[in-house]
């Protein structure tokens, strides 16, 4: 038996109202077990508490004005479910085929590029863990515009071939024992070489050798003779 025009119109209307819709995000609520959004689908149709289903292991809090795709549980318009949210204003562009990225509205991103992994942050990058390992088969390079700081109860540097430090000023300060040892140990000063114990010691320049003292003036003593084996 053929359906009446009224029944067909009702079926088309029901299908249209239950079909997935495009919407704009107004507000978000990320405090609960599932994130809920207020979205506007058709003009003036504001839906509160729409469930935002996100991929396991990934979480985001979209900004007002982002775009969403909304479907409806059991076809009921009063049960909106957001399946996807995108924001064309901040989308990272021009990735090569196969590249993957996460990004935000500040221009920060982590990009799995064809030639490696790139991380860009506008502020601070924090990596926290019980143990963090950086393992490179060739080179590890760190560059900072102002300062690199290493703070730990113990810092160990092992170089099988060579360890070098080139800087305007090199300071090694120890509250306890400071030890420099090697098969050959050299101390070079272009203008002067100085060492002392509590302010009493010796200094050398290319032209002269001098003893220096602190506290009460003392008679200058010549260096002790070399030990005879």
Residue-level pLDDT at 223: 60
What pTM, to 2 d.p., does this model score?
0.67
Residue-level pLDDT at 5: 65
Could you list the residue range(s) of the whole structural domain that residue 122 is in?
A: 90-143
Would 110 be classed as within a structural domain? yes
Distance from C-alpha of 124 to C-alpha of 126, rounded to nearest angstrom: 6
Distance from C-alpha of 5 to C-alpha of 34, rounded to nearest angstrom: 42
pLDDT level of residue 202 (50, 70, 90 thresholds): confident
Of 88 and 182, which is predicted with more confidence?
A: 88
Whole-Å CA distances, 131 to 53, 117, 126, 127, 128: 33, 20, 14, 10, 8
Same-domain pairing of 40 and 65: yes
pLDDT level of residue 54 (50, 70, 90 thresholds): very high
List 38's β-bridge partners, or say none: 27
Average pLDDT over residues 166-178: 87
Overall number of domains in the chain: 3
Regarding beta strands 67-72 and 200-204, do their DSSP bridges make them parallel or antiparallel, or are they unpaired?
unpaired
Pick the closest to residue 204 from 221, 187, 180, 218 (CA basis): 187
């Amino acid at each position: 038996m053929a359906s009446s025009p009224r029944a067909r119109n009702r079926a088309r209307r029901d299908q249209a109202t239950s079909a997935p819709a495009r919407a704009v995000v107004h507000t978000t609520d990320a405090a609960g077990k599932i994130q809920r959004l207020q979205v506007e689908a058709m003009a003036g149709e504001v839906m509160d508490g729409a469930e935002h289903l996100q991929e396991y292991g990934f979480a985001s809090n979209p900004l007002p004005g982002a775009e969403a795709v909304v479907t409806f549980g059991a076809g009921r318009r009063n049960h909106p479910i957001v399946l996807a949210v995108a924001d064309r204003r901040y989308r990272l562009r021009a990735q090569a085929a196969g590249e993957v990225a996460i990004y935000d509205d500040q221009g920060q991103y982590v990009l799995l590029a064809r030639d490696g992994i790139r991380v860009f942050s506008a502020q601070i990058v924090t990596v926290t863990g019980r143990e963090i390992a950086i393992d490179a088969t060739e080179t590890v390079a760190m560059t900072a515009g102002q300062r690199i700081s290493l703070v730990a109860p113990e810092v160990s540097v092992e170089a099988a071939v060579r360890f070098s430090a080139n800087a305007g000023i090199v300071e090694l300060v120890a509250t306890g024992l400071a030890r420099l040892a090697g098969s050959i140990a050299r101390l070079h000063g272009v203008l002067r070489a100085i060492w002392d114990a509590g302010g009493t010691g010796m200094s050398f320049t290319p032209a002269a050798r001098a003893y220096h003292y602190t506290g009460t003036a003392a008679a200058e003593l010549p260096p002790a003779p070399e030990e005879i084996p």
